[in-house]
Structure 1
């Protein structure tokens, strides 16, 4: 007799210290299972009949192949009965029958009833007379007749044929397989699934239908994949580090051996975990459910979600058994509820191009196009200028995070085509009622909702918002107080309930819509995405790059706008200003050619390059240009400070004459050219030169008499930070303190700064025609 067998028998086969009661059931018979460990090593003469595992410190453990069960002696294996016999034995032992409640008016999704429990008024068993086609007539728990339909048949009378190859679950349905066998200690699961929602139960198996004691579950929660298991003495949780990819096929591998487990999502990093307690085996008596909870109760105490899975599954394999989703006995499905055939094949017939994602709805398919592409199949390349949203669009931006803790300012310009739709949303957690902000259209009104963690406050525009017109809304929140100013409507304000004053927003910010409205709190009154254009979003005085700054997005097209035609030319940014625009030059703005352009009173150019800013704020400034006009007044050139403080310089027409006003910080100085008797708004070309050397300034028109002035105070520097505006500004009255009402109307050429810097003008204005006709 070998050393291994001799040692084991000498200690009465089982090591007393290694024998433990595992996963004790709560049944009346209290059937006990034992774990047995032996001293020695796995070799040809080990005590194990089939499989052997070396554990630690010279200890080995036996196991059995699929189709066999380990005997209580710890080393021999007993052949299992057939799957069909096990199903019959399972139902016979517990005296229960599955009823498909898809066609039953009951509150429970699955109900087990004893078929002999109902009687007629005569005291004899009632006869079930409902016509069920290929199904069977049964009584539900309320005594009502119902049809138990075979797999692949649905409807109140099992009249609809619905063969299933790859199941799609709607959040309420499920498939049931026989209980797991040979998986009490070791299991390896492979899944391929295509989720359409962030939450849902993918796989559930356990010892009892109330989920007390042993169980194993695979589920989605807030987009993350979780594997949860309990051997009866403590829960183990393994969670993915990345979220699943919605509307795409995801792969998952789950491995569990006794207490230890790991998962791998989409070939990513393996994440490991461990269950608690002494017990290391799981007893499986209940059916395996995929797509939902089946008849299992007690989910709220054991799992973070009780939602059913929404999406498709095309592969489930446990150990070496690959499940056939067809009906038993040819397939593995013993019961089902609310399952249909996965319809992603519609997408394969019309595949989306350029990385577009195909989603199905009813009997149609839709391509969600990535940024920069549009069309039914995402076949058209776009140069996005002003984003347009079509009701299935969204843009995802980085979270505001702690930048909005105590205060938040928003400035948004938009044009809507619908009276309902989500414009902006960001929250603290998914499926929660904690911190969030949201701006949306509801019933034609604009509404801002926010929650600091102790209740939601609402701000609502006083009047409906007109469709297909540009609007601007300002929202400011400081602590609990929020104020909203919509166009020229009266200002409204609100105070959030509770004592919390800070706003935490760690999740992504969504603009124009959101992929899953299930994550949006019910206090946000719309469940529709935005339809229209969003031109500008300024967050805490910083303009958001709506398209270029997005992390991801779908179905974004160009809004009809002059900027789409690139009127500013190559390398120059076109900035939309409602239906008009401005050209912003941040580099390469000088030109060696003479340009002639026109302005219409509302068009202008904004230069922000460091070269121009340096020349404007230098102690010496020289402006030389040619112009012609017939207007009496209008702002030609302006530079100032974004905080509206003292320093500024404004050059324009007043009563048909050139006037320069500036402030170096010690008070305003005005220099007006009136040496000639005639005004210069005669439609002829004129040349103007303005110079400033510290406090001394001079102005000359057409080589005429030079006029001088000295500024007030002792300050000599023009400290502006807005760059140079030419032809006007976004708001001329506000910029100039109502000195000017509108911009310049006329033509300009040869704009030169400090004698060496010729400013490029050929792409300047926002009118339909910007060429000056001589």
Structure 2
């Protein structure tokens, strides 16, 4: 363990003593300095001919707590140097972690040191210093419990001494076995199942996957990731063997360094350093990516240096002889090896942050520095695999040596309550890891039965006399609000109202990390109030998205981790009036538009471009203010109402049905349904600033003013090119003429849609598969995204128009998704559909013209990739789409007569609605009763059958 020309140096910076390199380290910044006729010692420096202690740290010190040879824990290395200077004592660092023994925290001010051995000219401010006091050997004690040293006991003279068969170590901090030939591992120093390995008269603990620290004394948390700290001296992580990297390898790492040199990643062919290798290191402040395929190494150096103690993201890629290095948002740097060899042969395990000590001087020739990495690593990826190098469940992490916890300056104030552990989170801010029975950003909340909210349907949980009590929202009852009392008719018209302290909690927004489009229809009675918020961390740190009213202006903000984007509408909202706000984001760029006003654009700061959200989405207000980012500028909830929410073209049809939690939500009573506009018991449903009447049985018309009679049952429905009927829910329900299950959309109503399954993964959205064309028991669920292998429609119609869309089913807002359409093109009916992103649109056109003002039966069938269209009893026309997908994925809504808006790229004839008469529609063998559907506002009948 000793090297140097005169065998005077320890290889890893340890202090050489009479017993060799035994774990002591000299703090940085205490070199001797000549000052006139005297010498400044113990870290003092010369100022105007006098030795003075520095007021500020002259270098970037090790940031974590350290243990010194006086048995005390110091918050930073700089604090130790300051104490050495002021006390003029010779102290050393024994470990780059807190001292092991249980300690008592004592806060006391420093005092001027005036004694014969110290010149009074040393000047320093009297600032508070936090020092931890221990029950060390020689300290006063009453019983054995007062002696914190392992194998220490309290003697008859009330001093801590070593127990029988043990003796004091050189630094007086440990009790070691008296036998000189005793193994360092014999005392089982590694905790929690760690494996002890002896070397050079000392030992190293190899921790199990759920522990870390010099002696595996820290247990990793299962619910929050830690950001590991490397001490630059003995820390490293050994990974499992690399696989399939002979031709290509890519890695990505996010780190901050405390030094301008340090090994980040290294893997080699042979243990002695010979043969191929690949490395990533900080060399003289720059990132160097090196590899050798056998014809000599290549070194690719970043175009810009790193900034000490700042977070950086570095990506390194190799393909055969070519290599690419990218740091943050700076341009790529490229390189290529000489020679003809193209394969990288790695036979040993790779290492992160450091390397086992042997052959370190020889290996440093490969990676360009003899220093290990000093700093924090919060993300490491090989290829697309995110490797949690410190995680208990990470199979790629084989060994972890001397890792600490990366802590922010905020951790020094001990913000975590109830014995919570303070660590640095992935966003660079502090994060409290709570014990089992506590929660909250600072572990301040004791968990109870309401923590997971057993109340259904948005019920509010209150903990009363050790029991959870559910306060149910409108339309719910029962112990846990499990019973639905809101009728279908009431749900149809329900719009939630907020009182500035209300909120609706919805599942976390999904599929918005790279881009999104969100629309909200809202009304406010006050100039300020929160509309929408979704965050990343419960302490308010990290990424977030917010929509907020500030002085009647709509304010749109988001943070991707490197600085917020802030946009404010040019127009002001009108109190008591419905407004529509649309926000978008693609990468760092965003836009905001209020109603049809000016589009405001903005961008977040580089380099991060993805939005990471973990918390629930809140509408109209917030549950806990501390979960909000300070940068969101949210102060109070909305005093008003929210009528609609759309994300990426998908509408939440019933906000309360999707709510995970809510508080103080009531039914909104106001425009546009604030008067009796629907006659004969019809229900008024708001649609932005317009409305739709849902008529009672036997009534139709825009205001439900027309009564149906027996004669009307036989009359067909008239479509005027703007009559669009939307069908949803299960088909078996729609067939029951005693129920009302169809929505009618007027021409001036623009719908935005969001599936009920917005919180599920794509592979869970296949839904019910229909295998039998002609089953009378078919229950075609067309609410939410469904995958269908078959479709069958039968329509009896009459028209004189050459063009018009008859049936429309689709997914999303563009033609990138699946769709199926039936239209009349130049007088001929045609079926078209697209299955999957890689398929082209198939169009099957009948040879029979039908715009002759005569009744025709049109039958359309699709079975997987095969389609068929038949007019009357003529021979069907068939077609088959290309190889690939065979399932039609849609949003589950069937439109009859047309739809607005339609995605661009369709034949121009599709953008015209159907004009004519329809007297019968079947889906499979089930007939729709159009007249008694109920939502038939503005519906007219044809004059003849």
TM category (shorter chain) comes to 0.3 to 0.5
Report the TM-score when normalising by structure 1.
Answer: 0.43
Report the TM-score when normalising by structure 2.
Answer: 0.36
